[in-house]
Amino acid sequence: MMEFLNLILEPLEEVFSKFKVFLPNLVAMLVIMVLGFILARLIKVVLVKFLIAINFDSWSDRMGFTTLMRKGDIWAKPSATLGGIVFWLLVILTLMIGLSALNIPAVDSLVEQFFSYVPRIFSSAMILIVGYVLAGFISQGVLIAAVNSGYHYAKLLAEAIRTLLMVLILAMAMEQLQIAPSIVLAAFSIIFGGIVTALAISFGVGGIDAARRMIEREASEKRGTEAKDEIEHI
């Protein structure tokens, strides 16, 4: 009977002793997560207040981020959205740190993989943000310069430049994230090359008359303005 009882109690003792060893890790994880969550909330509140103080929402309006958010069906203020993003990033970070406190080899390797991937996420996010601002800036500059030069297709030119730049930036961001890099590279080459080839064919063959009309129109207007103003603006 005793032997039978030992057979039952031994695994239970073993489980209990393992649980005793594991319990501090679990408590540590819970403490880390609770503290991390509180800290994340605190940082979010402070960050949002700071962003409001430095007029981040107006800056986002000017840079076109607000419009981009609205297109993506996000209706919160840019400051609140950034605060939310930072909050959830901190929660994920806390979760990863908490999980690593459990000292479970499988979880440890998962956490390690996550942390080695974080710099890529960060750099691709930076590429997207900086690229979006830069593409907007360049296309706006092209639009204004083209209008001031009397170019008739200014908006079309500016939009084409913005689209090409955004394709380039998306390809760079995906390459950074290592999402099917060979496919991204091939797709990018096909899209970029395709656009150029399509333009060349449509202008050179299909739209030869339209192209001639456009060029002649620009040229005739230029000729017309040769006998131009002699006024001194300053």
Partner 1 sequence: MNAVTLRPDVHEQIGQIGSVDIVVGIPSFNNARTIGHVVRAIQAGLAKYFPSHRAVIVNSDGGSSDGTIDVVHKSSLEDFNAILLHHRVEPISKIAFPYAGIPGKGSAFRSIFEIARALDAKACAVVDSDLRSITPEWVELLLKPVLEGGFDYVAPLYHRHKFDGTITNSIVYPLTRALYGKRVRQPIGGDFGFSGELARFYLNQDVWESDVARFGIDIWMTTTAIANGFKVAQSFLGAKIHDAKDPGADLSSMLYQVVSATFELMESHSEVWMPIRGSEPATTFGFEYTVGLEHVNVNTARMLNLFREGLKNLREIWLGILGAGDFREVERLGNLSDNEFCFPIGLWTRVIYDYAIAFHQKKLPAEHLIKSLTPLYLGKTASFILLAQDMEGAEAEAEIEKLCMEFESNKDYLVTSWKQFQ
Q: Please give the radius of gyration of the chain, using alpha carbons only, rounded to the nearest integer.
A: 30
For the bound state, the minimum distance from the C-beta of residue 169 to partner 1, rounded and expressed in Å, comes to: 19
Closer to partner 1 by CB, 114 or 151: give it. 151
**Spatial separation of the C-alpha atoms in residues 170 and 139, rounded to whole Å:** 17
Nearest to 115 by CA among 129, 95, 87, 132: 95
For the bound state, the minimum distance from the C-beta of residue 99 to partner 1, rounded and expressed in Å, comes to: 45
Q: What is the number of other CB atoms lying within 10 angstroms of the CB of residue 53?
A: 9
For the bound state, the minimum distance from the C-beta of residue 148 to partner 1, rounded and expressed in Å, comes to: 4
CB-CB contact of 151 with 218 (8 Å): yes
Closer to partner 1 by CB, 209 or 230: give it. 230
For the bound state, the minimum distance from the C-beta of residue 85 to partner 1, rounded and expressed in Å, comes to: 25
User: For binding to partner 1 (CB under 8 A), which residues are involved?
Assistant: 58, 62, 137, 140-141, 143-148, 150-152, 154-155, 221, 224-225, 227-234
User: End-to-end CA distance of the chain, in Å?
Assistant: 111
For the bound state, the minimum distance from the C-beta of residue 153 to partner 1, rounded and expressed in Å, comes to: 9
Angle between helices 78-101 and 105-148 (to 10 degrees): 160
Closer to partner 1 by CB, 3 or 230: give it. 230
Cα 160 to its chain centre, rounded Å, is: 21
Cα 181 to its chain centre, rounded Å, is: 17
Closer to partner 1 by CB, 44 or 162: give it. 162
Closer to partner 1 by CB, 109 or 225: give it. 225
